[in-house]
Structure 1
């Protein structure tokens, strides 16, 4: 197990390094010049060149990349090219919105998807099971923006149950209002992603129902539900753990869209603004942090698989 953890940690670091190189390279290909943005439309070529020199943008790309990586090794995400403020401080504030949003979305998505997926599989020979599966197939194809608009109209504008937009200025110093402002955005993501979890759970449960040890337990007198819970559920949970790794990436992408829709001051809105301003240092640091979160979740999922599945432990 120790060898596996060490190998996984090395792969995680290599993945972060490759991601950093790709993010840096892609951002340098994009059109636009942050020096021109800072100088304004009336800035002369000499003024723009002076700004580029002040920001270090006139240095060769390998030098810029190594400077950025050196800062990351010191846990320094750099400073904004536009405002000059440290990226880490502002990014930390935005993560106070994005991470709870993603976490709440994950909890709601799993809370909807897993029970309904198991129920859909158990009832797969009945009309109700078919309806659940068809509904999940349809909802999974719904764009997050469309789902958000529908839920905002229904739960916000029509029923007035939840706030539709905004986040308290004091943030989590007003925990009740802050949490309430995240429910509708989180539910928007959870409905779509929960439908995906439902489909995976249904497939895993149907496979478990067809396994010999589950059918043998039912043949010996256990009810089908008890046999599934006792002998089939561990295999279903392994499949769900795999889905969680994939869903985290979808949740973070969905958070970028939802934060724009519901006017939440999270990393998504920050990223969109910084891309428009061509603030390369902030954008590349934000993308790397989000990529790092996804890679860390993937590593945790691998470890959970090794812990939960005795067959994988026997290979080490």
Structure 2
């Protein structure tokens, strides 16, 4: 187990290193000049050159990358090229919206996907099971933006039950209002993610129904439903844990997209604004933090899977 943990941690570090290289050098290929953005359209070439020198943008690119990595090692995400404020402070505030949104979306997705996936498997020979499976395939293909617009029309404009835009100015000091503001965006992501979880859960449950231990339990007088829940559900949940690792990137990306639709002050809106301003220091740090979150959750899922699955430990 210790060897497995060390291997996963080493892969995490390598993944972050590769991601930092890709993010840093890809951003430098994008058109636009942050010095020109700061100087404005009326700035002369000499003024733009002076701004580039002040910001250190005239140095070799490998030196700029080294300075950024050196700051990251010290847990310093740098300062904005536009406002000169610490990136970590603003990013920490924005993550207070994005992370709860992603977590709530995952919770809703599990509540939707796991029970309906089990029901779909138990009724796979009936019309209701076929309809559930077909609906899941259709919903999984729906763009997140379209799902958000549909939910806005139903729950906000028609039922007038939930707010459609904004977040309390006091943030989580008003937990009731803050949670209410995240429900509709979280449902938007959860509809699509929940459909994917439903399909994986259904496949795992169908596989469990074909196992000898479930059939034996059913032959001894248990109903098929009870036999699956009692003996097959642990294996189904293992598959769900694996799905979470696969879908976590979709959750983070979905949260970034949905923030723009619902006008939430999260990392997504900040990222879009900073890309437009060519604020490379903020963009590269934001992207790396999001990548790190995805990699860390994926690593945690792998470790959890190894801990709760005795078959994995036996193979090791």
TM over 0.5: yes
CA distance in 2 between counterparts of 1:64 and 1:126 reads: 62
Report the CA distance between 1:221 and its aligned residue: 2.1
- TM-score, normalization by structure 2: 0.98
Deviation digits for residues 232-289 of structure 1, max 9, x if unmatched?
Answer: 1111111111110121110111111110000000000000000000000000000000
Superposition RMSD on alpha carbons, in Å? 0.8
Residue 240 of structure 2 is aligned to residue 240 of structure 1: yes
Residue 134 of structure 2 is aligned to residue 134 of structure 1: yes
CA distance in 2 between counterparts of 1:30 and 1:8 reads: 33
Q: Mapping of 1:18-57 within 5 angstroms?
A: 18-57=18-57
Deviation digits for residues 198-256 of structure 1, max 9, x if unmatched?
Answer: 01111111111111221122122221112111221111111111110121110111111
Residue 119 of structure 2 is aligned to residue 119 of structure 1: yes
Q: Which runs of 5+ in 1 are unaligned?
A: none
User: SS at 2:272's partner residue?
Assistant: helix
Q: What is residue 262 of structure 2 aligned with on the other side?
A: 262
Q: Mapping of 1:290-309 within 5 angstroms?
A: 290-309=290-309
Residue 95 of structure 2 is aligned to residue 95 of structure 1: yes
Residue 160 of structure 2 is aligned to residue 160 of structure 1: yes
User: SS at 1:163's partner residue?
Assistant: coil
Report the CA distance between 1:85 and its aligned residue: 0.3
Q: What is residue 151 of structure 2 aligned with on the other side?
A: 151
Q: What is residue 173 of structure 2 aligned with on the other side?
A: 173
Q: What is residue 209 of structure 1 aligned with on the other side?
A: 209
CA distance in 1 between counterparts of 2:124 and 2:311 reads: 30
CA distance in 1 between counterparts of 2:234 and 2:170 reads: 43
User: SS at 1:41's partner residue?
Assistant: coil
Q: What is residue 70 of structure 1 aligned with on the other side?
A: 70
Report the CA distance between 1:97 and its aligned residue: 0.3
Q: Which runs of 5+ in 2 are unaligned?
A: none
Deviation digits for residues 87-126 of structure 1, max 9, x if unmatched?
Answer: 0000000000000000000000000000000000101111
CA distance in 2 between counterparts of 1:185 and 1:251 reads: 12
Q: Which stretches of structure 1, 4 residues or more, deviate above 3 A after TM superposition?
A: none
